[in-house]
Chain A
Amino acid sequence: MKRLTLIILAACALIMLLAASDLPDWADPASPASSHLSPGFVEQAYEATHTPNVVTAVLADYRGYDTMFETVVVFLAALIIMIILRRTPHRRFCKILPHRPQRQGRDTVLKGAAQLIIPVMQVFALYVLGHGHYSPGGGFQGGVIFGASFILLALCYNLEFTINRFRERIVLLCCAGGALLYAGVGALCLAMGWNFLGYAALAGILGVSEAMARSHGILLVEVGVGITVMAVMVSIYYDLASGGDMREGL
């Protein structure tokens, strides 16, 4: 069976590798992927959105619907994981967990390092999120770094220690709140008489030009994406590390 799979896949791979010779050359500036839509993005994005980082402008403005539903997909993943794994009855859903005595003196270096690294990580995550217009970064990256700081805390101390500081109830509120912030910005634009996620509608509220309003709109939805991604990372870790009962972790 394994041999048969190997033969079939090798045949498929051979066909695809031969077909690869018809694909454009490596780093060819005139390749089809780089010659139709993308020059337009590079040349017009700054004038339209005042965002030097073209990736951010395309992500949150031109492809705003796509990013919004990606955020919803990530949010749904966190919900599904919780539904599948949850074992505790509903009533102790947000109860404060009893504090288990910490192991003392065995991992001083680990905890000291965590205390040093985690605040720096969180500030860096906010920088990556806020500076996404001008440098590589944005909501997804900043959110993942921020979520990783909580996971590092849970790994270096223990899961209960982290849950007592960042309750699951608040984590889930953040999950939903970020997606809601994104959709809310879109709905606000709709209420101002523009298209859904047409950030130029915010020019009147913010008192800036339309291109600058699009820049601010991108920042608002990136914050929404960052909050959702951060909370989803933490939620997935809580559920997977404890097998759904939120008591003992790794």
Chain B
Amino acid sequence: MDELFPFIIAKYNYWASLILLFIGLYGMIAKNNLMKKIIGMVIFQTAILLFYVSIGVKRGGTIPILEFGADHQPLLDATAYANPLPHVLMLTAIVVGVGTLGVALTILQKIQRVHGTIEEDEVLEDLRQ
């Protein structure tokens, strides 16, 4: 136990996002209710967002907006700012995530309207008849 704890602490950002990722994947595979599958998908997406943002953190680095000194010149030291690239990638990914979530909820509404249920096995049963 004394060895395991520092092992987890050293990489706890990866542990947190990977555990969230597998919770989401389990929800997507194992749950029977389609709404719960969508919730699993959203947890999965959030885990990936967390993973990327945690990669961009630098010790001692502030947000990637340039600071200006007394002489009105920006401080151009890359170690003073967090990595901007993961933030850019995740900014667009969040909005596209909202788009995919909207389409998923729409298809769910349509399934509910046609089959009268959002339980996967009942939908499959309805399709076979």
Contact = CB atoms under 8 A, between A and B. Distances in A.
B91 A59 contact: yes
Contact of A23 (B14, B79, B85, B98): B14
Interface in B2-20: 7, 10-15, 18-19
B105 interface: yes
A29 B85 contact: no
A16 B18 contact: yes
B61 interface: yes
SS class, residues of chain A in contact with chain B: helix
Nearest to A233: B98
B103 interface: yes
B interface SS class? helix
Interface of B: 7, 10-15, 18-19, 22, 25-26, 29-30, 54-61, 63-66, 68, 74, 76-79, 81, 83-88, 91-92, 94-96, 98-100, 102-103, 105-107, 109-110, 113
30 contacts: A9-B29, A13-B22, A17-B14, A21-B10, A26-B11, A27-B61, A29-B61, A33-B86, A38-B78, A38-B85, A42-B66, A43-B76, A43-B78, A46-B74, A46-B76, A55-B64, A55-B65, A58-B88, A70-B92, A70-B96, A74-B95, A77-B99, A78-B99, A81-B103, A84-B110, A135-B65, A138-B91, A140-B91, A229-B95, A240-B102
